[in-house]
Structure 1
Amino acid sequence: MGYKVLSKCPVCSSNLKVTKLKCNRCGTIIENEFELSKFAYLTSEQLEFAEVFIKSRGNIKDVEKEMGISYPTVRAKLDDVILALGYSLNKKPKVTNKEVLDMLEKGEISPEEALKALKDGDLPE
């Protein structure tokens, strides 16, 4: 049984690099400094979220259902993955009162979240 490749140093938490590859069939060994994918550095929780998000084709309602989390939690987890992959977050667009009320009606946000969004013009994280 193979082990999952470690991507973070267990001592200082910095990113690790792969330096040796071996073919199990012929025994060929290649040594160099190889970069891991950005996704290799995601935590298991971030990776699980990314997999569900991709499988759901970015449909937030499907992600909510599968993971049993609210719309704001999906957004927060998505922002977390975006930042972990090294990208910056664009400013969130303001939501309209109608959008907030529609989300409340569909059960996507709580009444408290709706009140805050109506007051601030923005959804809570």
Structure 2
Amino acid sequence: MNEIIGRCPVCNEKFTVTRLTCSRCGTAMEGEFSMCKFCYLTREQRTFIEIFIKCRGNLKEMEKELGISYPTIRSRLENVILALGYKVEAVEENTVNRKEVLEKLEKGEISPQEALKLLKDR
């Protein structure tokens, strides 16, 4: 059986379902039925959500699973949030990621003094 698509491939408008049929007994219902929000996501977005759930929302685990960077995962997650009709809160560009600072310190990329300064400036 083919997977249902949620949007028209010509104009990208949301499809409505007009007929439901039971594959077991053949009973059918006709009318206009809406699909769930997730049906309107692209296949790529639905796959992303499946992996998000599998990883229990842990973005670091998703990095490993998908082999892509944290910022790319954040971007894709925000894309899905928007596609579901929710607002994405703007992230302040000057916000320092504590974990990133500690990783840089551990790798010797910054000095302990620089790390302290970055963490205090948060």
Please give the secondary structure, in 1, of the residue aligned with 2:75: helix
Aligned to 1:77: 76
Per the TM alignment, residue 13 of structure 1 is displaced from its structure 2 partner at its CA by 1.3
C-alpha deviations, 1:82-119, integer Å up to 9, x for none? 00111011122553364431354689xxxxxxxxxx7x
Per the TM alignment, residue 44 of structure 1 is displaced from its structure 2 partner at its CA by 1.2
Per the TM alignment, residue 27 of structure 1 is displaced from its structure 2 partner at its CA by 1.4
TM norm structure 2: 0.78
| Gap runs ≥5 in structure 1 | 108-117
Please give the secondary structure, in 2, of the residue aligned with 1:21: strand
Tell me the amino acid that sits aligned with residue 66 of structure 1: E
TM norm structure 1: 0.76
Aligned to 1:29: 28
Per the TM alignment, residue 47 of structure 1 is displaced from its structure 2 partner at its CA by 1.0
Tell me the amino acid that sits aligned with residue 64 of structure 2: K
Aligned to 1:68: 67
Using the alignment, how far apart are the partners of 1:13 and 1:83 within structure 2?
A: 16
After the TM superposition, list the runs of 4 or more consecutive aligned residues in structure 1 that deviate by more than 4 angstroms. Answer: 103-107
Map residues 103-118 of structure 1 onto 2, 5 A cutoff: 103-104=103-104
Aligned to 1:114: none
Using the alignment, how far apart are the partners of 1:106 and 1:7 within structure 2?
A: 47
Aligned residues: 108
| Gap runs ≥5 in structure 2 | 108-117
Q: Which has the higher Rg, Structure 1 or Structure 2?
A: 2
C-alpha deviations, 1:42-96, integer Å up to 9, x for none? 1111111111111111101100000001110110010000001110111225533
Q: Percent identity?
A: 47
From the superposition, tell whether residues 97 and 41 of structure 1 become closer, same or farther in structure 2 (CA, over 3 Å): closer
